Amino acid sequence: MNKQTPNGMADASCAVSDSICLPATKFPRVVIIGGGFAGLALIEGLKKKDVQVVLIDKNNFHQFQPLLYQVATSGLEPDSIVFPYRKQIAGYKNVVFRMAEVEEIETSTKTIITDKGTLKYDYLVLATGTTTNFFGMKEVEQHSLGLKDIRDSLNIRHMMLQNLEQAAITCNTKEREALTSFVIVGGGPAGVEMAGALAEFCKYILPKDYPEYDPTIMKIYLVEASKQTLAVMSDKASVKTKEYLEALNVNILLNEVVTAYDGTTVSTKSGKKIQAKNFIWTAGVRGQMPKGLDKQNNIVNGNRLKVDENLRVEAFENVFAMGDIAAVITDTTPKGHPQVAQPAIQQGRYLARTLLNIINNKPSKPFTYIDKGSLATVGKRKAVADLTKFSFAGYFAWLLWSFVHIMSISGFRNRLMVGMNWALSYFSYEKSNRLIIRNFTKKTL
């Protein structure tokens, strides 16, 4: 295994066959597990500092999750919203990337066990994010698709296109209706944006690509367990969102809880039955973390790690968490911060300063989240915006949403690609990526 230097700092050694080889260093080693918004923000804050930063991720790319729904509905290609980590950290001499999946943390020896070997840390930062939460409904999980990563997006795209092609072939009316019906569970930002994008696909693309049947055959249902969509935003945003979706012929079912889905029939608690071959689950997430940190007193609602005001995981030395996996529980945030990009980015920047203070024996201020507002789009040219002092909706909200998202994407090329795609579709509503490049089945999940 990697040895420890006399001052406790990690040193590189490849003498042991099961160790991950890392460059030798005289500086403290900060290992970050997860390269999402929080992880990259932390790296930006630690680059060119007197620490060695090791990023571990099971993928070799960062993905811009807010636009996954556009890949799913053929609006963007996947390489427009993913960016290689090695390109991201090029030129950062103190930053190292290793592609591996973390299996367990041994905090007593400061050892990380991965599927590729082990490595030591001086400071460990968990930024592992979340996974789809099906709330224990195994049948629903087996037959549905989530929307958490780029693979989910491509699975949804291929499922949609294959089902539409099959609908054009079949002579069975009921089967055709099921193949062209879409049920989206969850009325949060992901569900609302997916419903809006699908509705515009139905309105503008379906008549051109499938003239053999009436486009009204494509039915879109948005199922939400609470009394309103976008419950995390203002009432005004919720009302406007409902208006926009209904104008796009989306069937909104509020106060409805999905209880079962067998691949064809969606059942709800009130007794409704919907025949649909396309089922997308955006109704919940849960934190994902390796073994070794999941002590009962550290886990709070949503399977998140409870952290203190400095983002340190309680009961563990030199172990921190940030982003969606972390819950800063205070009187003002009893449920932690929202699991969206802004808190993650702010926590990453904060923890960079805090770690440097800890290493240099300097005091640190508690983390304070500055809420800059929330945005959600509902199809083309319509969005809702909740800013600090006021809320608005419509075209200008959509322009703001577009600008914020383009500027947040990693890489100039990716920003350019997304901007060009949006500019083209702004006038034509064209989606040029309607390709079936592999045969999708549930077994591909």
Task: Cite the active site residues.
Answer: 193
Beta strands 278-281 and 181-185, pairing class = parallel
What is the C-alpha separation between 379 and 381, in angstroms, rounded? Answer: 7
Q: Tell me the chain's radius of gyration from C-alpha atoms.
A: 23
- Quick one: tokens of 238? 């919720």
- Quick one: tokens of 117? 């070997």
What is the C-alpha separation between 92 and 111, in angstroms, rounded? Answer: 24
What is the C-alpha separation between 310 and 34, in angstroms, rounded? Answer: 19
Helix (H) / strand (E) containing 42 = helix 37-46
Axis-axis angle for helices 189-200, 235-247 (nearest 10): 20
Axis-axis angle for helices 412-428, 395-408 (nearest 10): 150
- Quick one: tokens of 130? 């979340």
- Sign of the alpha-carbon dihedral angle for 387, 389, 393, 395: negative
Count the Cβ atoms, other than its own, within 10 Å of residue 325: 28
* DSSP single-letter state for residue 145: B
Dihedral pair phi/psi, residue 273, rounded to 5°: -125, 125
What is the C-alpha separation between 250 and 230, in angstroms, rounded? Answer: 15
Residues 56-67 as b/e (b if ≥16 CB within 10 A, e otherwise) read bbebebbbbbbb
What is the C-alpha separation between 408 and 387, in angstroms, rounded? Answer: 17
* DSSP single-letter state for residue 312: B
Q: Helix, strand, coil shares of the chain as percentages rounded to 5? A: 35, 25, 40
**Integer CA distances (angstroms), 63 to 265, 340, 351, in order:** 32, 14, 21
- Quick one: tokens of 411? 């890489």
Helix (H) / strand (E) containing 276 = none
Beta strands 102-106 and 111-114, pairing class = antiparallel
What is the C-alpha separation between 76 and 400, in angstroms, rounded? Answer: 19
Q: Which residues contact 210 (CB under 8 A, 6 or more apart)?
A: 164, 167, 168
